[in-house]
């Protein structure tokens, strides 16, 4: 599948029948062993429901069951098109934009977008970053509306970011900017032997000075952003900058309750920045929850 523009998309997925057949073929395919009679079978499309029937025993397979499309009354082609929009935008897709594009209610559009983001996160997975000889930049940022007062930090969400140099990123929304909330997430997701670069936050310095990591810092408070030996956190900070500007431009703001979904969407897209043409095919053919 090399669908890269809207003309190619509608040429390939021109109706619900084609979309359902694509879903069946990628998940099961002809000669798939029937779970009931245990025989390799040819499968025939049923006209009365969105299912395929075994040639031997008549057992039904419903390709949409167990996917984000299950129990949805929205046409399957619109689901596919919504996913297409997510894969062709660098800044995400708002619920209102989906509502306009698909001609559905805002409630339906919002639900579809939330499920697509969860699907992107599931496919991206949580594979550990780094390893011996590799550099992982770590930083955190505050997200939320403008606020004043000495306790402004407690009224904002904290996003922890980790980016492997020339590799993948991983983001997590954590409760607080504290050692007990930051360090476990890092040690669980960065392989031992990695070289970790951070800023001067004391929580990092106290935790990584005697560990299985090589640890280096830059001191932003003294105007230090990159050292001659390559120590820097510029990559993760650039990612945060793109994330915040994209959310502000596309969604205006995101509530703390749903922020994790949005950061995982941008993580998924970042990790495929060198192969964006594969995103649509991947999202329409892989279902990690079912393969587990």
163 CB-near residues (< 8 Å, 6+ apart): 129, 136, 137, 169, 170, 235, 236, 239
pLDDT tens profile 217-226 = 999 989 999 9
**Residue 147 pLDDT class (50, 70, 90 cuts):** confident
Total-model pTM:
0.94
Domains of the chain are 135-253 (3.30.420.10)
Model pLDDT for residues 148-201, shown as the tens digit of each residue: 777 777 789 999 999 999 999 999 999 998 999 999 999 999 999 999 999 999
Q: What is the pLDDT of residue 152?
A: 77
Question: pLDDT, tens digit, for every residue of 30-75?
Answer: 999 999 999 999 999 999 999 999 999 999 999 999 999 999 999 9
What's the mean per-residue pLDDT of the chain? 93
């Amino acid at each position: 599948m090399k669908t890269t523009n809207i003309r190619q998309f509608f040429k390939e997925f021109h109706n619900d029948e084609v979309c359902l057949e694509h879903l069946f073929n990628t998940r099961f395919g002809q000669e798939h062993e029937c779970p009931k009679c245990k025989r390799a079978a040819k499968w025939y499309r049923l006209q009365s429901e969105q299912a395929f029937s075994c040639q031997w025993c008549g057992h039904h397979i419903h390709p949409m069951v167990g996917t984000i499309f299950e129990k949805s009354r929205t046409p399957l082609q619109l689901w596919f098109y919504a996913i297409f929009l997510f894969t062709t935008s660098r800044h995400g897709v708002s619920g209102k934009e989906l509502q306009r594009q698909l001609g559905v209610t805002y409630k339906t559009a919002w639900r579809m977008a939330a499920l697509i983001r969860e699907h992107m996160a599931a496919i991206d997975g949580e594979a550990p970053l780094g390893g011996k000889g590799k550099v992982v930049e770590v930083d955190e940022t505050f997200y939320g509306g403008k606020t004043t007062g000495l306790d402004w930090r407690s009224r904002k969400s904290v996003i922890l970011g980790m980016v492997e140099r020339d590799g993948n990123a991983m983001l997590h929304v954590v409760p607080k900017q504290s050692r007990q909330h930051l360090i476990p997430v890092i040690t669980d997701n960065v392989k031992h032997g990695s070289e970790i670069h951070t800023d001067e936050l004391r929580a990092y310095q106290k935790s990584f000075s005697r560990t299985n990591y090589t640890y280096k810092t830059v001191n932003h408070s003294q105007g230090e952003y990159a050292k001659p030996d390559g120590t820097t956190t510029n990559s993760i900070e650039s990612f945060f900058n793109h994330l915040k500007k994209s959310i502000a431009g596309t969604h205006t703001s995101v509530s703390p309750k749903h922020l994790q979904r949005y950061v995982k969407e941008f993580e998924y897209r970042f990790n495929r920045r060198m192969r964006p043409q594969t995103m649509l095919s991947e999202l329409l053919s892989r279902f990690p929850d079912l393969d587990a």
